[in-house]
Chains A and B, each alone.
Chain A
Amino acid sequence: MEWFGLYNYWIVVVLMMVGFYIVIAQGNLIKKIVGLNIFQTSVFIFFISLAKLEGGTAPIHVAGVSDYSNPLPHVLILTAIVVGVALTAVGLALVVRIHELYGTIEEDEIHAQDEA
């Protein structure tokens, strides 16, 4: 059953689409950021999955072990997580400002105010 062996990647695809859909379809600015986080997390899982070697262990040198997981994607994703946290922080800070200025965080209400 090959498709079951790709279990991780199916999860990645599902999470990615769920996140992307929330970003596009939701009108609430906070929920959009949640969607963006889910979208990014799916990419993180994707990178971690591709680092896994069947039968491999954690990349710490141990006598008698020859197969290790690839540590590089882990390091990359550590960086990407930091970037993601920073993005979420900036995004949320912007939403706080938007709430101060418009009194709402619903996209359609904001556009209605701007056009009025």
Chain B
Amino acid sequence: MGLVQLHLPAFQVIVPMLAAPLVMLMARSPRAAWATATLTSWLTLAIALLLLIRVRAEGVVAYHMGGWLPPVGIEYRVDSVNILVLLVICFISAVVMPFARLSVASEVREDKHGYFYAAFLLANCGLLGIAITGDAFNIFVFFEIAALASYSLIATGRERQAVMASYQYLMMGTIGTTFLLIGIGFLYIMTGTLNLLDLAERLPAVNDTRTVRAALAFIVVGISLKLALFPLHLWLPNAYAYAPSMVTVFLSATATKVAIYVLMRFIFGVFGHELSFNVLGMNLLLMPLAMLGILIPSIVAIFHTNIKRMLAYSSVAQVGYIILGISFASTLGLMASLLHLFNHAITKAALFMALGCIAYRLGGVSLIHMTGAGQRMPWTMTAFVIAGLSLIGVPLTAGFVTKWHLILAALDGGLWPIAVFVLGTSVLALLYVWRVVEVAFFRAPLRRMKVREAPLSLLLPTWFLTLSCLYFGIETSLPVGLAERAAEVLMGGYR
């Protein structure tokens, strides 16, 4: 095995980390900064694909940082679960970077581009680190790296509310990660280890103690803040609505998804579903919250006229579907959640990219701006509609695949009211997507606006993701196979 092959897990995190200061040095030449960041994001995607090949061949790729063996040293551990998350992050960042050149140029001051792309790479590095590491404290550190970079990215938004949104995110995000740190401390007291694999082995002996249960409580609440589980989602709508388009695309597709992965890893992998669900009855907490989290933000979304904010509320609702799948505590439910993690990342990224095109040409993303946009920007709006159909869960789109599996999982668990609920709430998604379609396609443009179709470098990435929504709705074997394998691994604890 070549040297590169051997150190792939380390490269996955180190490449964007080292590229970030390099990009920052190019602050004077926005073009060079963008080109370097783009190449880096493609390189990380290539590394993730190579890792996928190794995971398929070997099952688990374990890497010992600096050659220190696990309980003492930090271990990077790639298995069927986190390779899925790594692929999502790398795929989205590789697609969003070509989109970024024009979009960022129109939304962020030029002298800040170098810093902007550096922060983007650091956020990328942090998210990849959270997903890849097998060490509990390392997860906390990478959470903060990703978060700090995201705060500065959000604060570059054009409107002044962006800075305030970033501040609020900082407050809630820090409380979330500090809760996680307290939980990790409790686990360390009881087991004397921080390695996730080691924790999973040693916890069953001390499961009955109040300390371990408090640890679970702190960790679940802390991560729920990060993944925007209703009612802890208050930071999300403003952060997504005021961030530059490219940041919204990237964060909506990756940041909450990685937090969801960590939640799955802790409650299934480390604590085990036996303790989390059968003994402590976490499904009784997660299921109602997930359902409220689907229902209320979906209804709120219907009444928002800022479409970016509307989609942000829709993101909270979609997180609800993923948590709903987790709360079934079954292999099928987990599989549906993992599938939705993948499919929703693509769908929401495509939607926010289409909005980015609209913002680029029309200068705003309110419903009024989009009057008659279907005639002026047919390609952009068609992409929006197709991705919107995927959001609703119409057959032949990626969104349908996950809704289908979620309903199957609900029926399998004997929870037919929930299956009905999932179908019923899809109508709410139809309502808020329809408002845009109606305004954009069935109304004539108000003024004689001389608006042309968005430029090709914005349209191509948007359509690439839109076609992915269709592709993964028809040819489902890749994500379904990955998710099935991952769900089996998670249900079996940590191996």
Residues on A facing B (Cβ under 8 Å): 20, 23, 29, 32, 36, 39-40, 43, 46-47, 50, 73, 76, 79-80, 83, 86-87, 90-91, 94-95, 97-98, 101-102, 110, 114
Contacts and interface: CB of A to CB of B under 8 A. Distances in A.
A43 B181 contact: yes
Given A40-B174, A43-B178, A76-B137, A95 B167 contact: yes
A91 B173 CA distance: 12
Q: Considering residues B137, B140, B181, which has the most beta carbons from chain A within 10 angstroms of its beta carbon?
A: B181
A89 to B, nearest CB: 9
Given A79-B141, A83-B141, A87-B174, A94 B185 contact: no
Contacts, number: 63
Nearest to A46: B185
Contact of A94 (B140, B163, B178): B163
B62 interface: no
Given A86-B148, A87-B174, A98 B185 contact: no
Those 4 A-B pairs whose CB atoms lie nearest each other, nearest first? A101-B160, A83-B144, A94-B167, A97-B163
B161 interface: yes
Interface string B152-179: 1001000011011011001100110010
A96 B155 CA distance: 12
Contact of B151 (A32, A76, A90, A102): A90
A43 B182 contact: yes
Given A94-B163, A110-B164, 19 more contacts: A36-B175, A39-B175, A39-B178, A43-B181, A46-B182, A50-B189, A73-B185, A83-B141, A86-B144, A87-B148, A90-B151, A91-B170, A94-B151, A95-B167, A98-B160, A98-B163, A98-B167, A101-B160, A101-B163
Contact of A97 (B137, B155, B185, B188): B155
Contacts of A43: 178, 181-182, 185
B166 A94 contact: yes
A23 B189 CA distance: 28
Nearest to A40: B178
A60 to B, nearest CB: 18
> What bracket does the count of chain B residues touching chain A fall in?
20 to 34
B170 A94 contact: yes
Contacts of A46: 182, 185
A39 B185 CA distance: 15
A52 to B, nearest CB: 12
B148 A32 contact: no
Chain B at the A interface: mostly helix, strand, loop or mixed?
helix
Contacts of B140: 80
8 contacts: A20-B175, A23-B171, A43-B178, A43-B182, A73-B185, A87-B174, A90-B151, A91-B170
Contacts of A32: 171
Contacts of A97: 155, 163
Contact of A36 (B144, B161, B171, B189): B171
A40 to B, nearest CB: 6
A37 B167 CA distance: 15
Q: Considering residues B148, B174, B189, which has the most beta carbons from chain A within 10 angstroms of its beta carbon?
A: B174
Given A40-B174, A86-B144, A80 B167 contact: no
Interface string B176-200: 0010011001001100000000000
Contacts of A95: 167
Contact of B160 (A36, A39, A50, A102): A102
Nearest to B155: A94
Contacts of B151: 90, 94
A97 B164 CA distance: 9
A20 B161 CA distance: 24
A91 to B, nearest CB: 5
A91 B172 CA distance: 12
B164 A50 contact: no
Interface in B91-150: 137, 140-141, 144, 148
A18 to B, nearest CB: 14
Contact of B170 (A50, A73, A83, A87): A87
B161 A90 contact: no
B476 to A, nearest CB: 41
A29 B174 contact: no
Contacts of B137: 76, 79
A83 B170 CA distance: 13
A50 B188 contact: yes
Nearest to A12: B182
Contacts of B166: 94
B179 to A, nearest CB: 9
Nearest to B167: A94
A19 to B, nearest CB: 9
A83 B140 CA distance: 10
A40 B161 CA distance: 27
Nearest to B141: A79
Q: Considering residues B155, B164, B171, B188, which has the most beta carbons from chain A within 10 angstroms of its beta carbon?
A: B164
Nearest to A39: B178
B181 A80 contact: yes
Contact of A29 (B161, B167, B175): B167
A91 B178 CA distance: 15
A20 B174 CA distance: 11
Contacts of B141: 79, 83
A98 B170 contact: no
Given A43-B181, A80-B181, A94-B155, A23 B164 contact: no
A105 to B, nearest CB: 10
Contacts of B170: 87, 90-91, 94
A76 B171 CA distance: 22
A87 B163 contact: no
